[in-house]
Chain A
Amino acid sequence: MEAGTLGHLFYGFQIALSPINLLYAFLGCLVGTLIGVLPGIGPAGGMALLIPLTYGKEPASAIILLAGIYYGAMYGGSTTSILLNVPGEAASVVTTLDGYQMARKGLAGPALSIAALGSFIAGSIGVVLLMLVGPPLARAALKFGPAEMFALMIFGLSTVTSLSGKSLRKALVSVLLGLMLATVGTDLPTGLIRFTFGIPKLMEGFDVVVVAIGLFAVSEILSCVEEMRQGSYSTAPLGRIWLSLKDFLQSLGAILRGTFTGFFIGVLPGAAHVTASFLSYTLEKRFSKHPDSFGQGEIRGVAAPESANNSAACGALIPLLTLGLPASAVTAVLYGALLMVGVRPSPFLFQKHPDVAWGLIGSMYIGNLMLLILNLPLIGLWVRILKTPARWLFPIVLAVSFVGVYSVNNAPLDLLLATILGVLGYFMRKLDYPLAPVILGLVLGDLLEQALRQTLMISGGSLLPLIQSPMCLVLFAMAGVVMVAPKLIYARGVKLETET
C-alpha cells in the first residue's frame, strides 16, 4: 500500500471517528439491520425511504449514514432467511437453502453467528480490496460489454446445477419458469408489451421481492400448516446459541472464497449481489468433498453466500467512487443522495471531495465492526423467535411480509400475486421442484436477453463476439466447469441427478 493511501486512510478514519459520524454510522447499521430483517424492503428500498434523514447534514455524514443502512440491510437480510425461510431480499434466497435447515436442527444460533462473522470478515477484506484494486478494477469493468455480460449470465445460470435437489430436469423447469416470468412486461428496446394479459400493472414486470415472498414465505407457511394438521410439524429446537471454534475453522475457507468471488462479481453492473451469492454457493458445493451435505444444513452453505453478498456490496461501490457510475440499484440511490448533498460523483471524487470518499471508506471499517458488535448479542434474541407458537408466528410473518410486498409499488395486485405464487410454491415443494432457481431465472432473465440482443445489434447479427472475446471464453469455460466438474471429480459416487 502506498504511503499516500495510508495517509488518506488515516484522514478517512479521522472523519469517520468524529462523534457525530460514529453516531450516524451506528444509526445507519441499526436501521439497516431492522430493514434487512423485515422481509421485502431490501437495501435499495430502505435507503431510498430514508434519504430524507440526510437533509441538512454534512455530505460525509449523510453518506456515512446511508452506507451504514446499506451494509446493515445486506447483513439483516440473512436473519429471516435462516430463522423462517423468508428471504429478506433476493441475495438472501440462497442462504435459506442451508440456513433454514440449520435452524430446523437447532443450529439457528451458529447459522446467524457465521452469517455475522462472515459478513464482518468479507466486509473488512472488501474495504481493503476497494482501496487497493478499486481504480484498475473499475477500468477493467468498463471493458465488460454486452457479450461479456451474456457470458456472465450464462455462468450465473450454470449455478442451477447446484440447486437441483433430486432432479436436474425439475431444476431446469424451475429456472425456465423464472426466465419466463422475467419476460413479462414491456420489452424495453422495442416497447412491445409481452405476456401481460391486458393487466396494466404487469407492464412493469414481476418484482423479485413479490416473487420471493410468495414462493418462499407464503409457500413455506402453507406447507408447515399442512404438516401441523398431519401432526408431523415440530417447533425447531433452540439448540446452542454460539458458534464453536470448529464451526468457524470449518467455514473460514468458504468465507474467504465467498469474499473474493463476491467482490469481483460486485464490481460488475447488473444483479451483482444475487449472482455473487448464487455463484459462491455453487462453487462451494461443487468443490466440496461432501456436496451431498449442502441443502441439509451445511454451515459453509451459509458462510459462502453471506460473505459473498457483503463483499459484493463493497465491490459495487467501486464504479461509483472511482468513475462516478452507479452500477446497481443501491449505488444509484447513493448517487442520488450524493447529488442531493451537493457532491457530484465523478472520476475526481477522491480529489474534489476527499472527506466524503475517504470518510466513507473509514466508516466502512468501523461500520463492519459495529454491525458485528450490534448483531452478535442479538442472536440469542432472534433465535427465541422460533419459540413463538406456530399459530401466532405464521400469521405475524405473513402480515409483515405483506407490508414488504405492498411497499414495493403500493400495488394491491402484488398482494394477490404473492398469494398465487405462494400456492404455486406450495405445490412445487410437494412435487420436489426447487424454488431457488425460479428467483435465479427471474433475476438474470432480463439481463441475459438484453445482453444477447445488444451483442447481436452491435455485431449486425453475428455471434462471433461471443467466441472472440477472451473474457467470454473464460466465463463459458467456467460455466462448463461448474456444470461438469462434479461428474469428473466425484465420479466415484456422487451423482448430479439422483433420479430414482
Chain B
Amino acid sequence: MMVRGEMAGAGLAVVLGAGYLWGALAMPEMSIGDPLGPRAFPLLLGALMTLLGGSLLVWPAQKDSGSMGISLHTGALALLLGLYGYGIPRLGYPAATFLFMVLAPRLLGERSYLLGLLLPAGISTGVFLLFTRILDMPLPLGILEKLLG
C-alpha cells in the first residue's frame, strides 16, 4: 500500500524519537562525579527528534510528497542482499558470492546463462583471492573448506 511519504517520514521520526526518549528515561541515573551522566544526552536527542518529527507532521516540509512504496525488483534485491549477508558466514564468501552474483544480475536483466555462470565464478574467485592472498584479510571459506580438505 502506498503511504503518503511526508506524513510517514515525519511519523517515523516521532515514533523513533519517542521510543528513544522512553529508552533514555528507563536508564539508571549514574552521576557520581559525572554531573550529566549517561542519560542526559540521549534525553536531549530523543526530545529534539520527537519535536522535529512533530513539527514535520504538523507543517510538512514539502507539499508534493513522495511515496513509501518499494518496487518488486528493489524489494527482491534487498531481500537477496540480506540472504547474501546471512550466507557469507555459513556458506563462505566464495560460495555465497557466486550464488549472489548468479541471482542478482539475473534479477537485474541478465539473460545469458553462460555469462551468468562464468562471470560469477570468476568474480567470486578473483575477489576472494585479492582480499585473502594479496591483502591478507581473513574471509570465511565455508563449505569449500570441507570440500578442499
Q: Is the pairing of A and B real? A: yes
A329 at the interface (CB under 8 A from B): no
Distance in angstroms between the alpha carbons of A308 and B116 in the assembled complex: 43
B114 at the interface (CB under 8 A from A): no
By the criterion CB–CB under 8 Å, are A426 and B52 in contact?
A: no
* Residues of B95-119 whose CB lies within 8 A of A: 97, 100-101, 104-105, 108-110, 119
A67 at the interface (CB under 8 A from B): no
The closest CB in chain A to the CB of B23 belongs to: A195
The closest CB in chain A to the CB of B128 belongs to: A403
By the criterion CB–CB under 8 Å, are B61 and A453 in contact?
A: no
Which among A169, A173, A230, A432 is the interface contact of B66 at CB below 8 angstroms? A432
Residues in A with CB closer than 8 Å to B13 are 173
Distance in angstroms between the alpha carbons of A218 and B79 in the assembled complex: 12
By the criterion CB–CB under 8 Å, are B66 and A431 in contact?
A: yes
Given A416-B86, A432-B62, A457-B34, A225 contacting B127 (CB threshold 8 A): no
* Residues of B101-143 whose CB lies within 8 A of A: 101, 104-105, 108-110, 119, 123-124, 127, 131, 135-139
By the criterion CB–CB under 8 Å, are B62 and A226 in contact?
A: no
By the criterion CB–CB under 8 Å, are A418 and B41 in contact?
A: no
- B-facing mask of A448-483, CB < 8 A → 1, else 0? 010011001100110000000000000000000000
By the criterion CB–CB under 8 Å, are B71 and A229 in contact?
A: yes
Residues in B with CB closer than 8 Å to A398 are 81, 84, 100, 104
Which among A187, A418, A452, A453 is the interface contact of B85 at CB below 8 angstroms? A418
Distance in angstroms between the alpha carbons of A41 and B136 in the assembled complex: 12
Which among A399, A457, A499 is the interface contact of B61 at CB below 8 angstroms? A499
By the criterion CB–CB under 8 Å, are A430 and B5 in contact?
A: yes
By the criterion CB–CB under 8 Å, are B108 and A169 in contact?
A: no
Distance in angstroms between the alpha carbons of A398 and B108 in the assembled complex: 14
B56 at the interface (CB under 8 A from A): yes
Which among A46, A395, A406 is the interface contact of B88 at CB below 8 angstroms? A406
Distance in angstroms between the alpha carbons of A169 and B8 in the assembled complex: 15
B18 at the interface (CB under 8 A from A): no
Residue of A46, A399, A423, A461 contacting most chain B CB atoms (<10 Å): A399
Distance in angstroms between the alpha carbons of A179 and B127 in the assembled complex: 34
By the criterion CB–CB under 8 Å, are B33 and A452 in contact?
A: no
By the criterion CB–CB under 8 Å, are A453 and B127 in contact?
A: no
A189 at the interface (CB under 8 A from B): yes
Given A189-B38, A395-B105, A432-B66, A222 contacting B74 (CB threshold 8 A): yes
Residues in B with CB closer than 8 Å to A395 are 100-101, 104-105, 108
Distance in angstroms between the alpha carbons of A312 and B110 in the assembled complex: 44
Distance in angstroms between the alpha carbons of A453 and B36 in the assembled complex: 6
Distance in angstroms between the alpha carbons of A18 and B119 in the assembled complex: 43
By the criterion CB–CB under 8 Å, are A187 and B38 in contact?
A: yes
Interface size class of A (residues with CB under 8 A): 35 or more
By the criterion CB–CB under 8 Å, are B73 and A229 in contact?
A: yes
Residues in A with CB closer than 8 Å to B81 are 218, 398, 419, 422
The closest CB in chain A to the CB of B103 belongs to: A395
Which among A176, A416, A460 is the interface contact of B52 at CB below 8 angstroms? A176
Which among B5, B35, B70 is the interface contact of A460 at CB below 8 angstroms? B35
Residues in A with CB closer than 8 Å to B56 are 169-170, 173
A49 at the interface (CB under 8 A from B): yes
Distance in angstroms between the alpha carbons of A226 and B71 in the assembled complex: 6
By the criterion CB–CB under 8 Å, are B73 and A190 in contact?
A: no
Which among B5, B20, B27 is the interface contact of A180 at CB below 8 angstroms? B20
By the criterion CB–CB under 8 Å, are A169 and B52 in contact?
A: yes
By the criterion CB–CB under 8 Å, are B123 and A399 in contact?
A: yes
A412 at the interface (CB under 8 A from B): yes
Distance in angstroms between the alpha carbons of A416 and B77 in the assembled complex: 14
By the criterion CB–CB under 8 Å, are A167 and B68 in contact?
A: no
Residues in B with CB closer than 8 Å to A226 are 70-71, 73-74
Residues in A with CB closer than 8 Å to B8 are 431
Residues in B with CB closer than 8 Å to A350 are none
By the criterion CB–CB under 8 Å, are B5 and A431 in contact?
A: yes
By the criterion CB–CB under 8 Å, are B41 and A183 in contact?
A: yes
A341 at the interface (CB under 8 A from B): no
B64 at the interface (CB under 8 A from A): yes
13 other A-B residue contacts (CB within 8 Å) besides A403-B127, A452-B36: A41-B137, A169-B52, A180-B42, A189-B34, A190-B34, A222-B77, A225-B108, A395-B105, A406-B139, A419-B82, A449-B41, A499-B62, A500-B63
A to B CB contacts below 8 Å, 7 in the list: A170-B61, A221-B77, A225-B73, A226-B71, A416-B82, A419-B81, A431-B68
